[in-house]
Chain A
């Protein structure tokens, strides 16, 4: 037997949570899985799409709180996101098709932990944290890097659900997002990247953030490389060095695969180009 619940409030929702729970936050992955024969019998399906509290973006003290069931399209249209985390707007704009952007949600994208998630690099760019609530109503926060263990696996326990995502405002940063798919629309990312940079008046780097998605099993921010760049000017040598290091690291993590021959040089080229564009 399959149970299906469609709560109207978070409180109501928590009551339905069981060990066999499956969430629908937009259904853009789950419906496809179902069609492929994914077995949901004996599961409790909780449809989160009719909980108004779970949708929307709040701005609190230099931070944005994006509720879990905010759709990609809502994010694209949201003024605060556009202002504070442009990279996320850009990323959500590239997700699937208009239909998918109208249904798919940021919380769903994080929860399924797909390596090809488009919002993920942008969220990580801004020190993204996952806000989690359990059946008892207890809340906890976890950094995105820690939350996602491997493709499709997170630290979310059976009695928990994602409530929202908190990201830092990067309003003063120059930001960019870049995606390579097999076509311009209706394509998941083969590679995606997010970058943000804040410069000092003397044209040295005050802060820089570099994230690589899709090519890796888990989206990664390159803290070590970022740190070494602070205080430096963006010279040709620096650009060459950084793009080389990142592509080498990606290869080391992902291991040589059939597609590496294409992906590794392209990662290097794209990082190179994004850094150059940041400089201008």
Chain B
């Protein structure tokens, strides 16, 4: 396919505004007579508020009102940012109150102060005395499942869900297998750490509707959840999303919006702002589930993986949020990666008295990818075969049908990714170099490793969620185009690539497409929002369709004024209506647009307003190759080289795509080597919920990142494109882990691979 605008590195339209500090993020928006909200957070991990002593706090000058659990609606709602499901069976668990007396984790929201200044609010919060009844608390899945453990949610047995999925004949596969490998793996809790914390305003507008300005990934769903939380019609709410400083899935939960809305409602609709501190964000928003795996694979004499049998405990934290879907998506990643014919997975998602697990970039697949790739690495090592070749043989190829999901791999070029990686990474020679190096050096050992992932695009096939998107295009008087979309820009560049798509179809330049600066539920067409690596694909379909509709209207308008031609003879190229056969420019789009607006008899404004329902998904592939050196005297792991190769179908904007991949790789390296949110087992209190003690890698810790793309044109994607936003981070951790294992000849089955953990393994 020949493209003019798609496939080029256009500069994002908001780049200048952002680097010059002119872009308004939520908290930058000025507001008159603003009041400040501050949440009262529990200082115990599990129990009940017996009594609120508010007397001292109410005396603090500037305090307007204090809300407790008794002042908010009694019914519960779900914070998970999934589109609503009509079938009650598939709906998310409604287990959250705006404020609660029942404390389920250290930092649970038990009330709030509204004050004239932020300082007054904070002082008042510290003066509130709470009497608690304290219960035993559980900081990991195993503890929470002990017989007799106090239930975090009544009647749950501390299980969100316990499911077993099976296809093929797993027992037979393992019985007939030439080789069987098994091991146990553990992944840790990490947090998204987006730069802009959770922040929102709420107020009553002049039309008596409730407005929430929020740094969210899902404005339309946010409106729906506000309706649920207050039991009010959805239309009574309006949600506006300004520029967003990152979300990574955390802002796919509606955590603070109902709280700040309740505060505004308590003060007659005066504007209230609620902004989480970094310390709150770490433990009172959402985190990635920590998982414990038992993983087993069956391999035949041709080194073909014939079966997987796995068992996972997924630590969900105190409220359901996205809950069991995280574990189920992990299961699917395991089914898809080697497209095995026989598969069984038991997944248990467990309530614990820790930060709530929710959506986080790549949604349950980094955990599964770590466990499965690590076991594949172990198998290759023990069988004495090359891990990269072994994975290449087993990953699904274009044209296969996925045994687990029954979805076609129309394009699946992961093996090609591995081949490209192998060649440009000098895999074979470097493996030889490692052997020699390791013979010559006792202190330092080198090794290479691979990690891979197959990832769906959008929430299909696992989710019964709707995948729809809307786009409205308006031809301006000068031939430029106004584009209105529900797709939510949160920094990833969706506005830019969607504008490129509209420009492509309409034969105009990228800078002639204007995108809204904000997403506004009153203005922007419906789209569930930014998650599941869906927007370039699903929202792209809406944009493409809208552009095609508008294109036909433009050509029809031309014919209306110049009835010499038939529509099929015409095209839009470089801002002109052209005669297809000769390429002759007939009229500029600007001239035509002016006519369509103002011709006394025939004029009307040309628009297209479409909404699409997407029924397909596409599998993208990711391979990460890592080359490491382990200092066996300190346990320190140094990445000498690392590369991600992606099959994400057609790349719409290479510069933005590389940026996505590099950011994901850095996050993946952090997952593999450094980050971990820790709790104190004495009192259930978080230990390192700040950016000083929670060690994100700095630019000194992240090596140069290599990125390459393999670009098959996927027949389902609007421009042959597939998911790319999330996949980059799942592969580096297992790649690094496998490289370390190859270097030292020992298995390390828990991440992060801190120097201490590596050294302990070496000294065992």
Contacts and interface: CB of A to CB of B under 8 A. Distances in A.
Interface of A: 32, 180, 182-187, 259, 261-262, 265-266, 269-270, 272-273
Contacts of A183: 674, 695, 697-698, 700-701
A180 B674 contact: no
Given A270-B633, A272-B633, A262 B698 contact: no
B641 to A, nearest CB: 17
A269 B759 CA distance: 11
Contacts of B634: 180, 266, 269-270
**Which are the 3 A-B pairs with shortest beta-carbon distances?**
A269-B633, A184-B700, A262-B756
B701 A265 contact: no
Contact of A265 (B697, B700, B754, B759): B759
Nearest to A178: B634
A187 B759 CA distance: 20
Interface string B735-764: 000000000000000000011100110010
B755 A262 contact: yes
Interface in B682-700: 692, 695, 697-700
Given A182-B754, A183-B700, 20 more contacts: A180-B634, A180-B636, A180-B755, A183-B695, A184-B698, A184-B700, A184-B701, A185-B698, A186-B698, A187-B695, A261-B760, A262-B755, A262-B756, A262-B760, A266-B633, A266-B759, A270-B633, A270-B634, A272-B633, A273-B633
A55 to B, nearest CB: 27
Interface in B587-635: 633-635
A273 B443 contact: yes
Nearest to B634: A266
Contacts of B698: 183-186
Contact of A262 (B695, B697, B701, B759): B759
A259 B629 CA distance: 23
A103 to B, nearest CB: 15
Contacts of B763: 265
A182 B635 CA distance: 12
Contacts of B759: 262, 265-266
Contacts of A266: 633-635, 755, 759
Contacts of B754: 182
A259 B635 CA distance: 14
Given A262-B756, A262-B759, A266-B759, A182 B633 contact: no
Main secondary structure of the interface of B (DSSP, over half): loop
A270 B760 CA distance: 16
A206 B295 CA distance: 59
22 contacts: A182-B674, A182-B695, A182-B754, A183-B700, A184-B700, A185-B698, A185-B699, A185-B700, A187-B695, A261-B756, A262-B760, A265-B759, A266-B633, A266-B634, A266-B635, A266-B755, A266-B759, A269-B633, A269-B634, A270-B633, A270-B634, A273-B443
User: Which of B674, B699, B756 has the most chain A CB atoms inside 10 A of its CB?
Assistant: B756
A183 B669 CA distance: 12
Contacts of A180: 634, 636, 755
Nearest to A181: B695
Contacts of A184: 698, 700-701
A272 B634 CA distance: 12
B704 to A, nearest CB: 14
A136 to B, nearest CB: 40
Q: How many of chain B's residues touch chain A, expressed as a range? A: 10 to 19
A270 B699 CA distance: 25
Contacts of B699: 185
A114 to B, nearest CB: 14
A259 to B, nearest CB: 7
Contacts of B755: 180, 262, 266
B674 to A, nearest CB: 6
B635 to A, nearest CB: 7
Interface in B566-592: none
Interface in B305-355: none
Contacts of A265: 759, 763
Contacts of A273: 443, 633
Interface string B655-699: 000000000000000000010000000000000000010010111
Contacts of B443: 273
Nearest to B636: A180
A266 B634 CA distance: 5
Contacts of B633: 266, 269-270, 272-273
User: Which of A183, A185, A187 has the most chain B CB atoms inside 10 A of its CB?
Assistant: A183
Contact of B701 (A32, A185, A269, A272): A185
Contacts of A272: 633
A238 to B, nearest CB: 18
A249 B561 CA distance: 95
B639 to A, nearest CB: 12
Contacts of A261: 756, 760
Interface in B116-144: none
Nearest to B691: A186
A184 B763 CA distance: 24
B52 to A, nearest CB: 22
B452 to A, nearest CB: 27
A269 B636 CA distance: 12
A180 B635 CA distance: 11
A165 to B, nearest CB: 27
Nearest to A259: B756
B443 to A, nearest CB: 7
A95 to B, nearest CB: 13
A269 B634 CA distance: 7
A259 B697 CA distance: 22
Nearest to A261: B760
Nearest to A268: B633
Nearest to A258: B756
Nearest to A269: B633
Interface in B629-657: 633-636
A262 B760 CA distance: 7
Nearest to B674: A183
Nearest to B697: A183
A186 B692 CA distance: 8
B503 to A, nearest CB: 42
A173 B589 CA distance: 78
Nearest to A191: B634
A267 B695 CA distance: 22
B388 to A, nearest CB: 29
A262 B84 CA distance: 50
B705 to A, nearest CB: 16
A4 B501 CA distance: 60
Nearest to B756: A262
B614 to A, nearest CB: 42
Nearest to B754: A182
Given A180-B755, A183-B697, A183-B700, A262 B635 contact: yes
Nearest to A262: B756
A261 B701 CA distance: 25
A244 B635 CA distance: 18
B656 to A, nearest CB: 28
Contacts of B695: 182-183, 187
A272 B633 CA distance: 10
Contacts of B674: 182-183
Contacts of A182: 674, 695, 754
A184 B695 CA distance: 10
A259 B763 CA distance: 14
Contacts of B700: 183-185
A178 to B, nearest CB: 9
Contacts of B756: 259, 261-262
Contacts of B636: 180
B308 to A, nearest CB: 35
Interface in B395-417: none
B590 to A, nearest CB: 51
A257 to B, nearest CB: 12
A9 to B, nearest CB: 35
Contacts of B701: 183-185
A83 to B, nearest CB: 27
